[in-house]
């Protein structure tokens, strides 16, 4: 009986110890991303507010240039590190709308764009990332287009068939890919300044996106 009580006390003590040393912000409050636009039309800039509601200073290695979205489907691992993903969903079924196109072919002009973008992100410094201290908020803009190139050999697009969809943003940093594509010296400098990577899933609110007639013409021709 005494042994059973001691084992229970030991388990409770271990649970309390684990709870005390869990990073409070991670997976509980976390990072909040809010799309500020009430509605979006193809070609708009998405206005985004990022709030760090963890108990640590964090960095997000996002590249929000137009070029990053032009090469979005070319290299999944690399873009998963640097690009905040735009998600379209059907209003009624919530089914995610897929990409279609030849963006992954690495042909012609698309390869040149990718090569340029690859050099840009490889040379990024810590100050080029989104840096957020505990409780800090920042606002940024990211581009949104349904069709990223009208070149028949190099394009990707959302496979739309309705005039209105739900739009949201998602992101999750992968440890292996972060170490693969971000210079270790940059990671060390950020660590010295007190910034840590944020690995939890991030999902924004949903807003309506309206598909204009010009987009339908491009997408279905």
- Taking only the tens place, the pLDDT of each residue in 137-162 is 999 999 887 765 555 444 557 778 88
Lowest-confidence region among 3-7, 81-85, 86-90, 216-220: 216-220
The pLDDT tens digits of the residues spanning 79-93 come to 899 999 889 999 999
Q: Quick one: pLDDT at residue 213? A: 61
Lowest-confidence region among 73-82, 106-115, 171-180, 208-217: 106-115
Lowest-confidence region among 11-15, 78-82, 92-96, 186-190: 11-15
Residue 198 CA to residue 190 CA, distance in Å, equals: 13
Average pLDDT, the chain: 79
Quote the pTM value. Answer: 0.77
SS3 141: strand
Is the pLDDT at 123 greater than 80? The verdict is yes
Is the pLDDT at 7 greater than 60? The verdict is no
Q: Quick one: pLDDT at residue 75? A: 78
Is the pLDDT at 47 greater than 90? The verdict is yes
> What are the sequence ranges of the domains in the chain?
29-218
**Cβ within 8 Å of residue 111, ≥6 positions away:** none
Task: Place 104 in a pLDDT band, splitting at 50, 70 and 90.
Answer: very low
SS3 143: strand
Residue 140 CA to residue 218 CA, distance in Å, equals: 28
More confident residue, 107 or 137: 137
Q: Given strand 130-132, what is the order of strands in its sheet? A: 130-132, 57-60, 195-197
Q: Quick one: pLDDT at residue 1? A: 54
Is the pLDDT at 208 greater than 90? The verdict is yes
């Amino acid at each position: 009986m005494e042994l059973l009580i001691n084992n229970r006390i030991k388990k409770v003590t271990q649970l309390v110890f684990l709870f005390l040393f869990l990073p409070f912000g991670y997976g509980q409050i976390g990072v909040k991303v809010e799309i500020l636009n009430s509605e979006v039309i193809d070609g708009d800039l998405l206005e985004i507010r990022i709030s760090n509601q963890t108990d640590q200073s964090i960095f997000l290695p996002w590249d929000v240039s137009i070029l990053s979205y032009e090469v979005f489907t070319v290299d999944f691992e690399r873009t998963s590190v640097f690009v905040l993903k735009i998600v379209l969903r059907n209003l009624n079924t919530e089914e995610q709308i897929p990409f279609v196109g030849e963006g992954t072919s690495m042909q012609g002009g698309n390869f040149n764009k990718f090569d340029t973008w690859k050099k840009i992100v490889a040379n990024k410094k810590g100050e080029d990332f989104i840096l957020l201290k505990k409780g800090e908020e920042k606002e940024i803009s990211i581009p949104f287009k349904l069709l990223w190139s009208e070149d028949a050999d190099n394009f990707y697009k959302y496979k739309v068939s309705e005039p209105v969809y739900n739009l949201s943003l998602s992101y999750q940093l992968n440890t292996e890919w972060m170490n693969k594509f971000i210079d270790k010296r940059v990671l060390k400098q950020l660590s010295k300044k007190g910034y840590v990577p944020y690995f939890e899933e991030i999902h924004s609110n949903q807003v309506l996106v309206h598909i204009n007639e010009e987009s339908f013409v491009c997408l279905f021709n």
